[in-house]
């Protein structure tokens, strides 16, 4: 049902105003327990969520928030003109499908049963693979890689050597990240020039930050001779040399200070010893990118992206609060990981 870009943009603005306000997020984080959290949530557009098994409350909530987010993405895709719709589908579906493939591979690697693997998957229809059943029911990882041969993900087979060499699945996971970034950049070409910039900024920044985090992790682990070109197939503003410095340097601060301000500002959060704050910083940055783009042009692709990014951040915030409340974590401890988008204030 394509109603033209103008309609989707206006609709996106309306949907942005329906997202949870920062006050509502604060109220949810302030809930004393899960029951109060669910009660607060029932007063929002999420409505009442029934939890049947108290033992898996955080997982049930995460699934509900994912379903809601996927539903929002689908609604927008359904309304947007084909080129934008196709791109958005690839942007989100590819991301979720990549995550699902990682979970299937991990599950197979650790000998999980097919139904246990299915339970961990994000509820989306297959996008670039024919179906999930074949993959989930494969005997081993070799069979999964075999099934992926005729798909967009065929390049993961190139990592088979590293997978066998280290008996580890991280080379496959990195290859999937690379395929995701590469495919997004290919698909973004279908968008008008002015709309591409926002996507480039987001994907490049995301990839660079994840590369940095992987490099920090490598620096803390037993030194193995890694071919960094293979490990980091996609790098943007953080070059392979910089990542090598991160792995080999004894002084991480020096490396971070040598980076651009919008990188060093977020990456310097690592000094607190809490690496997760970098991901919070990354989400803040994504929020800032779309908010700034929206300030420049309120009536265009920016509005759609802003709605989807805000919506995704809302999902991440709610998943975090839901888990925190199930664990009885105080709102102060939770709020430092929450992202308050400017549109909220």
Give the residue carrying structure tokens 């990240």: 177
Q: Which of 256, 324, 325, 339 binds other proteins (CB under 8 A)?
A: 324
Quickly count: other Cβ atoms within 10 Å of residue 270's Cβ: 18
Q: How far is the CB of 103 from other proteins (least distance, A)?
A: 5
Q: How far is the CB of 116 from other proteins (least distance, A)?
A: 8
Q: What residues have CB less than 8 Å from 333, skipping those under 6 apart?
A: 324
CA distances from 24 to 27, 31, 43, 72 (A): 5, 11, 9, 19
Q: How far is the CB of 162 from other proteins (least distance, A)?
A: 11
For other proteins, give the closer residue by CB, 15 or 169. Answer: 169
Would you give the binding string for other proteins spanning residues 244-283, x where CB under 8 A is met?
------------------------------xxxx-xx---
Q: Which stretch binds other proteins (CB under 8 A): 15-23, 108-116, 123-131, 144-152?
A: 108-116
Q: How far is the CB of 326 from other proteins (least distance, A)?
A: 8
Residue 130's closest CA among 105, 152, 160?
A: 152
Would you give the binding string for other proteins spanning residues 45-64, x where CB under 8 A is met?
-------------xx--xx-
Q: How far apart are CA 145 and CA 53, in angstroms?
A: 35
Q: Which stretch binds other proteins (CB under 8 A): 41-49, 161-169, 246-254, 303-311?
A: 161-169
CA distances from 344 to 7, 27, 124 (A): 23, 14, 29
CA distances from 261 to 44, 135, 199, 206, 276 (A): 38, 43, 20, 16, 19
Residue 84 DSSP symbol: H
Give me the torsion for CA of 70, 74, 80, 86, rounded to 10°.
Answer: 80
For other proteins, give the closer residue by CB, 220 or 345. Answer: 220
Give the residue carrying structure tokens 């480039």: 200
Q: Which of residues 191-250 bind other proteins (CB under 8 A)?
A: 213-214, 216-218, 220-221
Q: Which of 110, 125, 131, 258 binds other proteins (CB under 8 A)?
A: 110
Residue 140 contacts other proteins per CB under 8 A: no
Give me the torsion for CA of 290, 293, 299, 302, rounded to 10°.
Answer: -40
Q: How far is the CB of 223 from other proteins (least distance, A)?
A: 12
Q: Which residues bind other proteins (CB under 8 A)?
A: 58-59, 62-63, 99, 102-103, 106-107, 109-110, 112, 120, 166, 168-170, 173, 213-214, 216-218, 220-221, 274-277, 279-280, 316, 319-320, 323-324, 327, 329, 333-334, 337
């Amino acid at each position: 049902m394509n109603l033209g870009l103008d309609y989707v943009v206006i609709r996106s603005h309306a949907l942005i105003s329906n997202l949870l306000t920062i006050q509502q997020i604060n109220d949810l984080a302030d809930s004393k327990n899960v029951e109060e959290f669910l009660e607060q949530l029932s007063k929002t557009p999420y409505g009442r969520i029934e939890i049947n098994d108290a033992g898996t409350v955080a997982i049930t909530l995460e699934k509900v928030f994912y379903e809601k987010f996927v539903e929002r993405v689908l609604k927008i895709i359904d309304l947007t003109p084909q080129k934008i719709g196709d791109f958005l589908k690839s942007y989100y579906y590819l991301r979720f499908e990549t995550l699902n493939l990682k979970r299937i591979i991990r599950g197979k690697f650790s000998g999980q049963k097919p139904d246990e693997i299915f339970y961990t998957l994000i509820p989306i229809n297959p996008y670039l693979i024919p179906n999930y059943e074949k993959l989930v029911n494969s005997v081993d990882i070799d069979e999964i890689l075999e099934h992926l041969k005729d798909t967009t993900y065929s390049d993961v087979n190139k990592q088979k050597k590293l997978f066998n060499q280290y008996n580890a699945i991280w080379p496959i996971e990195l290859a999937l990240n690379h395929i995701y970034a590469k495919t997004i950049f290919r698909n973004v070409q279908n968008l008008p020039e002015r709309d591409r910039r926002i996507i480039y900024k987001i994907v490049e920044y995301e990839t660079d930050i994840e590369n940095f985090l992987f490099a920090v992790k490598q620096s803390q682990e037993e030194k193995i001779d890694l071919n960094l070109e293979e490990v980091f197939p996609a790098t943007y503003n953080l070059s392979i040399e910089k990542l090598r410095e991160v792995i080999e340097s004894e002084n991480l601060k020096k490396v971070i200070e040598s980076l651009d301000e919008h990188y060093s500002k977020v990456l310097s959060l690592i000094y607190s010893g809490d690496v997760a704050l970098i991901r919070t910083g990354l989400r803040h940055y994504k929020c800032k990118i779309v908010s700034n783009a929206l300030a420049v042009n309120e009536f265009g692709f920016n509005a759609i992206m802003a709605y989807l990014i805000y919506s995704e951040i809302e999902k991440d915030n709610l998943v975090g609060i839901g888990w925190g409340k199930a664990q009885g974590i105080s709102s102060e401890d939770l709020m430092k990981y929450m992202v308050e988008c400017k549109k909220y204030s």
